[in-house]
Amino acid sequence: MRAPRGGGGGWKMAAGGGSAGRPCAAWLLIAAAALAAVQVSAVEVHTPEEMFVENGTDAKLPCTFTSVEVISSAASVSWSFQPEGAATRISFFYYSNGKSYPGKDIPFKDRITWAGDLNKKDASIIISNMQFRDNGTYICDVKNPPDIVVKPGEIRVRVVEKDSLPAFPIATVAGIAIGTVTGLTSLISIVVCLVIRKNNSKKRYSGFFGLPVGLKKITPKISLWGFPN
């Protein structure tokens, strides 16, 4: 039996149901693009944004990385330092082919120790006897040819008096905030998707059981004898 040609609501709603998933799919694509926006380099370097170190103690500056290529003997790590308030950077450490080359200039002379393992994608170093003059930004740069496009990791180091470390580091707060935003983005996308699907389901339901335009609902009249007239 053919559906009536005269503008029936049920026919139009059923025909439009095929596009119900399109808005949902668009939302999911937008969310995926937002979450993957940071993945733009062949080599990705990961460091904490900020560290607090007690004066006179040794500080391990953590730096890890990911690469799509196998780690080769040509892989290298370089560390540089930008003092607080300065506009230029000072290179003070280089590592390649299993050998470390610490800088011999003040202020890092004889204070740098390699603490990483390139096979484990770790490029960390240790700086001994941290002083207030060591306040500033430390930059970790990794190359793993042919992966040489990279955004270096940066750590802002703050040297404080002993027993003056903050109870809740700012870097931890930042990590929690980033995780919360990421989770909310995914949650909002899922909720929007469910709402769109629910609304389209209601429209299809009302459309299938509605009367075509131009037809009237007929209520049979019952006679006194119980039979329809």
**Higher-scoring residue by pLDDT: 78, 219:** 78
Asked whether residue 8 carries a pLDDT value surpassing 50, the answer given is no
Q: How confident is the model at residue 136 (pLDDT cuts 50, 70, 90)?
A: very high
171-183 pLDDT per residue, tens: 554 555 566 656 6
Pick the range with the lowest mean pLDDT from 13-22, 97-106, 146-155: 13-22
Sequence-distant (≥ 6) Cβ neighbours of residue 86 within 8 angstroms: 136
**Which of 70, 36, 41, 68 lies closest to 141 in space, CA to CA?**
41
Task: For residues 43 and 229, give the distance between their C-alpha atoms in angstroms, rounded to a whole number.
Answer: 84
Which string of DSSP letters, residue by residue, matches 17-60?
A: GGGTHHHHHHHHHHHHHHHTTT---SEEEE--SEEEEETTS-EE
Task: For residues 80 and 127, give the distance between their C-alpha atoms in angstroms, rounded to a whole number.
Answer: 13
- Looking at the whole model, is its pTM more than 0.85? no
Residue 41, pLDDT score: 47
Asked whether residue 201 carries a pLDDT value surpassing 60, the answer given is yes
**Higher-scoring residue by pLDDT: 37, 21:** 21
37-93 pLDDT per residue, tens: 444 447 999 999 999 999 999 999 999 999 999 999 999 999 999 999 999 999 999
